[in-house]
Amino acid sequence: MSVVVGMSGGVDSAVSALLLKELGEHVIGVTLHFSQHSACCDIASTRRAKAQCEHLGIAWHNVDMKDAFDCRVIQPFWEAVAGGATPNPCVLCNERVKWQGLLDAADELHADFIASGHYAGIVHSEDGDQICRGMDRAKDQSYFLYRLSAEQRRRVLFPLAGRVKSDVVALASRWFSSDLLASRESQDLCFVEGPVNEEVCRRLSCVPGDVVLKDGTVIGKHQGTASYTIGQRSGLGISAVSRLYVVEKRHDTNELVVGQRNACMRDVFEAIDLKWQHLPTGKSAYFRAKGSVDRVSEDGVSVHLANSVFAVTPGQAVVFYDDQRILGGGTIV
């Protein structure tokens, strides 16, 4: 069996390639280059990925994905931020760029499967192929993979599904010298260099406005609503007797609404742009002790939680699980 492994130059992908080779598979390393600022594909990481493959005695290929990453992830991200949302770029990247890039490379190299260093698993059943949680709950990354297509799920392998991070690090230290292992983990916003709020204002020409309480009382000034997210407490630049959090962003009046923590708690919200790995039957799906999901349209659901949660944020993803398996998910509005 031939497997293309996405090599980032980090510990997890290196050990994934190692484990597959130990199983006797024909392993090919592929590094997808997205952005020069990314910890997963900057010059140092790319060189390290190549060196890891040489150390393992496997072929290595470098694929330029910058144009695809820019038009399918970076541009939609900034458009969503400009509209007041707080999008998750990793979800977009996994769906639109990373996994398709690996599949295309696998087809070109005549490989059967693709693999990554994600802490997640895959379950094959009559109902289809479903992503599931990995053994290491502290590192579980299945949440970011809910939008993978049926073809991507059919051909994916997760060598770290049954392992915890500490064991992976220990295994890496036995097989690789320290100069072949990354000193830091990749970060979510890999395409921004420097403080995110500064990049937001640079790109979106933020307009300062009032920071207000729910009743409209002005208590300060903000630097542009796009620079803030729901639930944010630090960096507000205001002083108050009690801690205040961002509760709402009013774009029509350019006001940033703040309040106490309980004002950020929600037990009902809606999600759109749904992707299902296993579509529940019936109009409603009930989750024991958690709440219910009511289908309000073909592409929308209303989520009712048994217990309120903090900072349900427009633009972020909500993912539905049946025990360990992903059913699907959508974008919070």
Active site residues: 93, 190
Q: Where are the beta strands (DSSP E) in 134-277?
A: 156-157, 209-212, 218-222, 245-250, 255-259, 265-276
Report how far residue 171's alpha carbon sits from residue 21's, in angstroms, rounded to the nearest whole number. Answer: 14
Sorted by sequence, the CB contacts under 8 Å of residue 177 that are 6+ apart come out as none
Are 192 and 69 in contact, with CB atoms under 8 Å apart?
Answer: no
Are 21 and 56 in contact, with CB atoms under 8 Å apart?
Answer: yes
Are 244 and 236 in contact, with CB atoms under 8 Å apart?
Answer: yes
Tell how strand 156-157 and strand 113-115 pair up: parallel
Report how far residue 40's alpha carbon sits from residue 222's, in angstroms, rounded to the nearest whole number. Answer: 33
Q: Which helix (H) or strand (E) holds 192?
A: none
Cα end-to-end distance, the chain, whole Å: 43
Nearest to 301 by CA among 325, 288, 317, 323: 317
